[in-house]
Structures are given as C-alpha cells and as structure tokens.
Amino acid sequence: MTETSPSLTLAHSTMDTPVGRLGLFASDKGLAKIAFEADRYDRVVRDTAQALNARVVHHPERLDPAKRQIDEYFDHLRRVFDLKLDLRLANGLTLQVVKQLNILPYGRAVTYGEVAEMVGHPGSARAIGQACAANPLPIVVPCHRVIRSDGTLGGYAGAEQIKRALLALEGVKLS
C-alpha cells in the first residue's frame, strides 16, 4: 500500500480560554476541529491530519474569526456561533447528533434521552452520549448542554470541570 499525498490543507492555531488552551483546525470549508489541552495536541494534529488526508499548517490568521467568536462567547457577548463548519470528522449518528446540537438554545440543557428522541433513535441515550463524545467541535457545537436524565452532568470529552464551567457560564442550574 502506498501513501497518498494530502489532498487538503488544514490551518491550525491555539488559543487560551477560561477553560484552558484550545487547538483549532479549519479547512477551506470551515472550522473542522476543536481540541482541549488535555487531548494531547500532538496526537490530535496527527489524527486529524490522517482522518482528513490533510496537511496541517500553522496559520493563526485563518482561525481569527473562530477565535473572536469563542472569546465573545466566554465574555458573555455571544450566544450563537456564526461560523462555517466542516463536519467531515462526524459521520453516522455523530453527524445527526452534531446537527441537532447545533440548534440547542443557549442556557438550556437537554437530556441524552431527549436528544435520542430528537434524532429519531428513542431509547438510545448511551449511543447519544458516545456521539456527543465524538463531537469534533465542542463549545461551538454545544454537546456540553446534554446531561443525564437525573439532572447530573454526564461525561464530557474536555473533562467534567469544563462541562460544569460552560453550563455555569450559560446560567444552567444542575440538580
């Protein structure tokens, strides 16, 4: 098997936020990936490049619009992100869930079971949790707004304290 040359170039940059450093990746189609500091950035760069058959280049200016909107979110100036998204890293149920999460209102939590109903997979709350964990664009696609039916947090790819901080920022009260 021979390796093929990358067919895509991804710009990447990092930014500091109240929940830690984020790694951002964008293609010509839009924002493709957000990674938390704990995700081991070198591995994320490699895996993202491999998944998209892409060459990754440090190009912070291309990510300025995303950085600006994320900063506005943390400064309580933005409730809805208005960014072009490249969803090629999401497929199957994850893609369905990501599209549904993108319309969840700011400041409102829903349960994994409710998301399962919304995407036409009633009774599959656990699969919805896995799809949320695979969300390539946390914060911008608000998987942090999905909680357990008992009102507790549930998991979060970035860590429980980050999910708690994002919900607190939006004024969501938990049980």
Q: Any idea which residues carry the catalytic annotation?
A: 143
According to DSSP, residue 6 is labeled P
DSSP state of 3: P
Block residue for tokens 């909680």: 147
CA distance 81 to 54: 25
Chain Cα centroid distance, residue 111? 17
Separation of alpha carbons 68 and 62, rounded Å: 11
How far apart CA 16 and CA 34 sit, in angstroms, is 12
Helix H or strand E segment including 9: strand 8-17
Tokens of 172: 């969501």
